[in-house]
Amino acid sequence: MTDGAPARPSVDPRVVVPALGITQILAWGSTFYLLAVLGQPIARETGWTYDRVIAGMSVALLVAGALSPTVGRAIGERGGRPVLAAGAVTLALGLLLLGLARNYAWYLAAWVVIGAGMAAGLYDAAFSTLGAIYREHARGAITAVTLLGGFASTVCWPLSAYLVEHFGWRAACFAYAALQIGAALPIHLLVLPAAARAAVGDSPRGPGSAARLSSAEMLPFVVLAAVVTLAAAILAMMGAHLLALLQARGAPLATAVALGMLIGPFAVGARFIETFAGRRYHPIWTMIASSILVALGTLLLYGGLTSLGVGVALYAAGNGIGTIARGTLPLALFGPGRYPALMGRLAFCIMVAMALAPFVGAVAFRLGGPLAMLSLLTTVALANLLLVGTLWLSSRALRTAK
């Protein structure tokens, strides 16, 4: 530890990790996974086309990306508790406005507010908070939180369906707003430490410059940003178009849905393995394994029904540990002092990619059919595999220099 840097807070991860896992389930379930259930009911009631309804999520992701660097700096300077608490309040306000929306402009405005809450409440803000609390020891906590957060769709899709069926989509929005205020907000305020923040003392350039990169660090960071951007693009395209792609490859709807249900268990299973094995090797190997699995998964989607199932499983496992790698690798390469601010920069790339990739995939699907869409996916996955190789070389040189 550098002289002048605060000691690592003695905050029990057995308390913090389950708490953040719960709030991540609520945050993802009430934002990113919300329209998977509410999209069609909203379209039916309002008369807006389905694509206009879904556009709200793209707006939210763009806003989240724009605000993520500011959020990262705020966590580095003030700690995660006030930022995550503000995120819960902002999500509650956005969901309340969404439930009250009577025209399309109001609807989009609600998603702008939700996007601000996403910037301060999803994985990247949680990772930055854990980095500020546990510093170089944060890897296990980050892995465990992603393990719990992987159950967001498993928990919230049935809850959303129940709320919509019995009370309507507006009441579902109000219920999630209440959960943000009644559950997520007090968890953040009561469980997270008040003073845990990144220490600028870790940076040799002194206060006010803790997020600056040296010339030796610039290439690894740029390549890492490209890697997480392409990985996020694949995630968003698969999330938006997987069922249609599987059906176009010959799977009946029921089979496509069943194959899609493999994603959650295999993602969580891979994260579970990483929880125990990850401490034995550098996070760069997790990123390498993730990119290989995702590339193999997309290539297998060219095959028959059995190949489709294996491909979905491999993709899910790779994406599952890829989320861990995106949280742990920057910490290992650049240290805890600059971690929150750098995570904010990476989150900008991730959110923008997730906002734009489904549209790009839809254009490819419309113009060239399923093979064009699949070719786009595999090209991005293979390009990312090459970038990860470049990242391994540049990060190896950086670690040697240090």
Q: Residues spanned by CATH 1.20.1250.20 within the chain?
A: 13-197, 215-401
pLDDT of residue 401: 63
Which of 1.10.10.10, 1.20.120.530, 1.20.1250.20, 1.10.1580.10 is the CATH number of 13-197?
A: 1.20.1250.20
pLDDT of residue 17: 93
Residue type, 282: H
Q: Alpha carbon 381 to chain centroid distance?
A: 18
pLDDT of residue 270: 92
Alpha helices in 278-338 (DSSP H): 283-300, 305-334
Count CB-CB contacts under 10 A for residue 306. 9
pLDDT of residue 51: 82
Residue type, 263: I
Count, in order, helices (H) and strands (E) of the chain: 16, 0
Tokens of 228: 């997480």
Say if residue 134 is exposed, middle or buried (CB neighbours under 10 Å; 0-12, 13-18, 19+).
Answer: buried
Task: For 147-198, give the DSSP string.
Answer: HHHTTHHHHHHHHHHHHHHHH-HHHHHHHHHHHIIIIIHHHHHHHS-SS---
d(CA 277, CA 265): 18
Tokens of 200: 């600028």
pLDDT of residue 1: 41
> pTM score, two decimals?
0.84
pLDDT of residue 103: 95
**Start-to-end C-alpha separation, the chain:** 15
Which of 342, 13, 67, 339 has the alpha carbon at shortest distance from 193? 13
Task: For 2-17, give the DSSP string.
Answer: -TTPPPPP---HHHHH
Residue 330 near residue 224, CB atoms below 8 Å: yes
Buried b (16+ CB within 10 A) or exposed e, 244-260: bbbebbebeeeebeebb
pLDDT of residue 353: 93
Residue 145 near residue 17, CB atoms below 8 Å: yes
For the chain, 402 residues long, the average pLDDT of each consecutive 10-residue run is 46 89 95 88 91 89 94 91 97 98 96 97 93 88 90 86 94 97 96 69 44 83 96 90 85 84 88 84 94 96 90 94 92 89 92 89 85 93 96 81 62
Q: What is the dihedral of CA 259, 231, 291, 278, to 10 degrees?
A: -90
Residue 198 near residue 75, CB atoms below 8 Å: yes
pLDDT of residue 198: 56
Please name the residue that has the structure tokens 């719990």: 148
pLDDT of residue 253: 80
Half-sphere exposure in the Cβ direction for 389 (13 Å, CA)? 6
Contacts 24+ apart (CB under 8 A), 164-169: 164/37, 164/38, 164/41, 168/41, 169/38, 169/41, 169/42, 169/45, 169/99
pLDDT of residue 154: 80
The CATH number assigned to the domain with range 215-401 reads: 1.20.1250.20
